[in-house]
């Protein structure tokens, strides 16, 4: 347990360092801040204001301490970043929550659809294959038009656009596993013994545990990467959109703060995964 905690802290630090290292590869923010009047003197004065010429170690320490004290300020708007980040996170959580709801609803419908009959299964499979190849920005644009036309809430439509892909991923995973579980010797034996459906359902839960892990990993990638695109298309002022715009404008403090939040989030998710596995699948309890 202690080693795991220690390891998690190490992961967070390493993650932040990775992100920080990338800053040195990006173009010079000072020119972007100066805009169309970027003569040498102005750029130099901007670099000085933004502490861009200090040695690497000092810059990193300043960034971390500023973040911890909530004093980190954006290059562009001179506002404290952490407060803004938390406000925007709340906005994004609304969209992400709708996304999660739709993942479970759609995923559940897809699983049920494929479990009901062979013919339905083939249609559902084909439908989900078609939907899967629709990139997030396409479904988002179509849903944007739908939301304008029929007055649907933007957050819900944005969440739906995000959910299509992960729900198909989750459902296809679950269906595959359920199929195997059906054929697994212990299930066949249990059926032969005439065990009740509910008891078998309980037994099958641990087959699904890995699906949750897959989902949460896919969640980070597709949900978070998709969040920025979806927020941009719907005009929702959430953290994904803010991050995308800040990355394009090279607003380094914002990128740093979001990286820190993401590090913490990923580690928290990893912990959650471990707990889910621990609860659902006793066979994997030694995997720590």
Q: Which stretch binds another protein (CB under 8 A): 16-24, 51-59, 64-72?
A: 16-24
Q: What track of x and - describes contact with another protein for positions 179 through 198 (by CB under 8 A)?
A: -x-x-xxx----------xx
Cβ 278 to another protein shortest distance, Å: 14
Binding positions for another protein, 114-173, rule CB under 8 A:
115-116, 126, 129-130, 132-138, 141-142, 144-145, 147-148, 151, 153, 155-156, 165, 168-169, 172-173
Q: Work out whether 268 is an interface residue with another protein (CB under 8 A).
A: no
Choose between 62 and 284: whose C-beta lies nearer to another protein. 284
Among 101, 190, 195, 276, binds another protein (CB under 8 A): 101
Binding positions for another protein, 65-94, rule CB under 8 A:
74, 76-79, 84, 87-88, 94
Q: Work out whether 49 is an interface residue with another protein (CB under 8 A).
A: yes
Choose between 70 and 235: whose C-beta lies nearer to another protein. 235
Q: Are 60 and 20 in contact (CB under 8 A)?
A: yes
Choose between 62 and 152: whose C-beta lies nearer to another protein. 152
Structure token digits, residue 68? 């911890």
Partners of residue 29 on adjacent β-strands:
none
160-192 in b/e form (b: 16+ CB < 10 A) is: bbbbbbbbbbbbbbbbebbeebeeeeebeebee
Q: Which stretch binds another protein (CB under 8 A): 52-60, 64-72, 103-111?
A: 103-111
Q: Work out whether 62 is an interface residue with another protein (CB under 8 A).
A: no
Q: Are 287 and 278 in contact (CB under 8 A)?
A: no
Among 175, 141, 189, 178, residue whose Cα is nearest residue 161:
141
Phi/psi for 69 (5° steps) reads -90, 0
Q: Measure the CA dihedral 191/195/198/203, to 10°.
A: -70
Cβ 94 to another protein shortest distance, Å: 7
Among 217, 118, 223, 208, residue whose Cα is nearest residue 171:
208
């Amino acid at each position: 347990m202690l080693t795991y905690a220690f390891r998690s802290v190490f992961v967070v630090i390493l993650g932040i360092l990775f992100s920080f290292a990338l800053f040195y590869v990006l173009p010079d923010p000072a020119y972007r801040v100066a805009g169309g009047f970027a003569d040498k003197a102005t750029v130099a004065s901007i670099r000085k204001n933004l502490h861009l010429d200090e040695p690497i170690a000092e810059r990193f320490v300043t960034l971390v301490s500023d973040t911890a004290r909530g004093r980190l300020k954006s290059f562009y708007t001179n506002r404290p970043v952490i407060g803004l980040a938390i406000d925007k996170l709340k906005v994004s959580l609304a969209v992400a929550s709708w996304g999660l709801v739709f993942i479970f609803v759609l995923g559940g419908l897809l699983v049920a659809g494929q479990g009901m009959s062979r013919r339905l299964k083939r249609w559902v499979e084909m439908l989900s294959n078609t939907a899967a190849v629709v990139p997030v920005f396409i479904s988002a644009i179509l849903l944007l038009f739908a939301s304008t036309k029929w007055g649907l809430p933007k957050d819900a439509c944005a969440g739906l656009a995000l959910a299509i892909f992960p729900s198909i991923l989750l459902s296809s995973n679950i269906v595959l596993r359920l199929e195997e579980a059906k054929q697994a010797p212990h299930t066949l034996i249990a059926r032969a013994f005439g065990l009740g459906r509910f008891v078998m359902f309980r037994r099958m839960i641990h087959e699904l545990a890995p699906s949750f892990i897959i989902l949460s990993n896919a969640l980070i990638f597709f949900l978070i990467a998709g969040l920025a695109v979806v927020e941009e298309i719907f005009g929702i002022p959430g953290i994904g959109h803010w991050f995308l715009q800040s990355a394009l404008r090279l607003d380094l403090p914002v990128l740093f703060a979001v990286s820190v939040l993401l590090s913490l989030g990923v580690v928290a998710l990893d912990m959650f995964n471990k707990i889910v596995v621990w609860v659902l699948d006793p066979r994997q309890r030694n995997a720590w």
